[in-house]
Amino acid sequence: MFIDYSKIYIKAGDGGDGAVAFRREKYVPKGGPAGGNGGNGGSIIFVAESNLSTLLDFRYNKKYNAQNGERGGSSLKDGKSGKDIVIKVPVGTIIKDSETEEILCDLDKDGKEFVAAKGGRGGKGNSNFATPTNQTPRFAEPGKPGEESNVVLELKLIADVGLVGFPNAGKSTLISVISEAKPKIADYPFTTLEPNLGIVRYKDYQSITVADIPGIIEGAHLGKGLGLKFLRHIERTKILLLMIDITSEDYVKDYKTLVNELEKYSKVLSKKKKLLAFTKADLVEKSELKKIKLRKIPNYHGTVLVFSAATKFGIEELLDSLWHQLKD
Domain boundaries, the chain: 5-155, 161-327
Confidence at residue 110, expressed as pLDDT on a 0 to 100 scale: 94
Query: CA 77, CA 33: separation in Å to the nearest integer?
Result: 12
Q: Phi and psi (nearest 5°) for 164?
A: -125, 135
Confidence at residue 191, expressed as pLDDT on a 0 to 100 scale: 42
| pLDDT band per the 50, 70, 90 thresholds, residue 181 | low
Give CA angle at 214 (103, 190), nearest 5°: 145
> What are the C-alpha distances in Å from 42 to residues 16, 63, 323?
11, 15, 46
161-327, what's its fold?
Answer: Rossmann fold (3.40.50)
Residue 138 DSSP SS3: coil
Residue scoring higher pLDDT (28 or 98): 98
Mean pLDDT score of the chain, rounded to an integer?
87
pLDDT exceeds cutoff 80 at 232? no
Beta bridge partners of 279: 245
Residue scoring higher pLDDT (31 or 150): 150
Torsion from C-alpha of 50, 51, 57, 58, nearest 10 degrees: 0
| pLDDT band per the 50, 70, 90 thresholds, residue 28 | low
Residue scoring higher pLDDT (233 or 101): 101
Helices (H), the chain: 171-178, 227-230, 251-265, 267-270, 286-294, 315-327
Burial of 314 (0-12, 13-18, 19+ CB in 10 A): buried
What is the residue type of 241? L
Query: CA 259, CA 165: separation in Å to the nearest integer?
Result: 10
5-155, what's its fold?
Answer: Spo0b-associated Gtp-binding Protein; Chain: A, (2.70.210)
Instruction: Find, among 140, 143, 135, the residue nearest to 19 by Cα.
Output: 140
- Answer whether 161's CB lies under 8 Å from 198's CB: no
Confidence at residue 27, expressed as pLDDT on a 0 to 100 scale: 65
Question: Average of pLDDT values for 229-252?
Answer: 86
Strands, sheet with 239-245, edge to edge from the N-terminal-most edge strand: 196-202, 206-212, 161-165, 239-245, 273-279, 304-306
